[in-house]
Amino acid sequence: MRLYLTALNPTGSVLDGFLPAAAALGWDVTILTDRPERYPEHEAIATDVRDPRAMIDTIIGHHPPDVIFSDSDHIQAETALVAEYFGLPGKDWRACATAKNKSLMRRRLAAVEPVRSVRLPPGTAPPADLPYPVVVKPALGVASEDVFLVRDEAELADAIADIRTRRPDDVLVAEEYLEGPLYTLETLGDGHATWILGGFRTTLGPLPRFIEERLDWSPERPRGHLRHLATALATVGVGFGACHTEYVATERGPRIIEINYRLIGDDCGFLLADLLGVPVFEWILRVHAGEPLSALLPQATTGPGRSFATPPALRRDGVHGTALSLVAGESGVITSAPPAVAGERRGDVRLWHRPLRAAGDRITVTGTNRDYLGIVRAIGPDRASVDTALASFCADHPWVIA
């Protein structure tokens, strides 16, 4: 079985998740990337992965493909087009393009959930009737970069001018601020049925920025939320492979913030796999190889007519998981960095730490997810024990910036 994995920068999910999963399945792997030097231990071919024609040409000159897959935010549509060209299972490229572009997503969802949103190409002035406060952000943005909450026309003008210094040619989106608790929904589909794997409650840093500082396991959802999310995802065309959806539980009901048509990142994919006790990374690859969900967990059943639900075999009680992002509070040079930790025991809690920076690195605080120093994930019997273990770990292993 030959897997072509398309990628840009290496991520933890790829290096420690999908590549080991492919090895466990006994697959041969070829990485198509514009940065082959970043994958020295794997067969990596230099390719313009933002151009489907270039990827098709590379594959035709190499080995015949059996699976074509990407976990990258940026090249889902391109990868889907390549899979379609070779007649292999994959996502609908239109759904990938719609999910990635926040302006397209809002247009597609307009009939499902009313959220006031306007598209702002370069040189376009925002309309006068926006329902302040609003959030302004790049239509194709990631990692909370250049996302601001603004409270009036003057703040919006200042925010747009600031963003344009870094993104002069990007389309921006200004939309009403959705107030309420922020959740994620993690799903896996085979094109016919969709499993709800679980979800998290997200804690953000202080406004007006939107840094994700902590995610806590929160798998239960009101039935009304699930009906709405099922309809919304179907409207966009999402139904194959992994999907990470972020939404706010507003007073008017759930409202989607963004649809990331890939596995959840920032080490939460590993947290999800450990919480469920199943090989999530292997499952995603097997779906892309054409296996139905029923082959992944034969004892799982969602019941007649329930194709968007959590299989009983995946329900987990008496367990809590947290992913804590360690965020730089100031700019400077890292003088002390904690080591990587894998499965350390602190009482009834297991802990993992992935450093994202190293001693000697210079940090410039940006107010985005790029300010992460490391990610600690923990699993224990309840939130209190997890909180105690996290506090103890952070006290014992501080990041020091001078």
Q: Is 98 part of a structural domain of the chain?
A: no
Counting the structural domains of the chain, the total is 4
258 vs 51: CA distance, rounded Å: 24
Domain boundary pick from 314, 329, 348: 314
Instruction: From residue 276, give the alpha-carbon distance in Å to each of 114, 167, 197, 214, 221.
Output: 34, 40, 8, 19, 17
Does residue 81 lie within any of the structural domains? yes
Residue 106: inside a domain = no
Residue 78 · residue 6 · CB < 8 Å: yes
Q: Is 107 domain-assigned?
A: no
Region 275-289: what's the mean pLDDT? 97
| Same domain membership, residue 355 and residue 255 | no
Instruction: Establish if 225 belongs to a structural domain.
Output: yes
- The tens digit of pLDDT for each residue in 129-175 reads 999 999 999 999 988 899 999 999 999 999 999 999 999 999 999 99
> In terms of domains, do 206 and 125 share one?
no
Cβ atoms of residues 95 and 32 within 8 Å: no
Going by pLDDT thresholds of 50, 70 and 90, the confidence category of residue 302 is low
Tokens representing 340 are 């990587």
Please report the pLDDT score of residue 298 as a whole number: 81
Same domain for 290 and 206, yes or no, is yes
pLDDT value, residue 301: 65
Looking at the fold, whether 54 and 68 belong to one and the same domain comes out as: yes
299 pLDDT exceeds 80? no
Which domain-ending residue is among 176, 197, 226?
176
Q: Is residue 192 part of a domain?
A: yes
Residue 144's pLDDT is 87
Mark whether 187 and 300 lie in a shared domain.
yes
Q: Are residues 239 and 124 in the same domain?
A: no
CATH assignment of the domain containing 216: 3.30.470.20
The pLDDT confidence band at residue 368, using thresholds 50, 70 and 90, is confident
Q: What is the mean pLDDT of the chain?
A: 95
Could you list the residue range(s) of the whole structural domain that residue 68 is in?
Answer: 2-88
**What pLDDT is attached to residue 317?**
85
Across 66-85, average pLDDT: 98
The reply to whether 160 and 266 lie within a common domain is no
> Out of 90-99, 283-292, 313-322, which region has the weakest mean confidence (pLDDT)?
313-322
Given a cut of 70, is residue 303 above it in pLDDT?
no
Domain-located, residue 110: no
Q: What does the pLDDT average to over 333-362?
A: 96
User: Residue 337 has which token pair?
Assistant: 């960095």
Q: What is the pLDDT of residue 369?
A: 86
Asked if residue 365 belongs to a domain, the reply is yes
151 and 45 both lie in a single domain: no
Distance CA 55, CA 49 (A): 6
Average pLDDT over residues 340-366: 95
* Weakest mean pLDDT among 42-51, 91-100, 265-274, 305-314: 305-314
Sequence-separated (6 or more) residues with CB below 8 Å from residue 15: none
Calculate the alpha carbon distances from 166 to 114, 162, 274, 288 in Å: 30, 7, 39, 37
Q: pLDDT at position 136, please?
A: 98
Mean pLDDT of 70-83: 97
**Whole-number Å distance between alpha carbons of 90 and 96:** 10
Of the residues 159, 176, 193, which one is the last residue of a structural domain?
Answer: 176
pTM of the model: 0.96
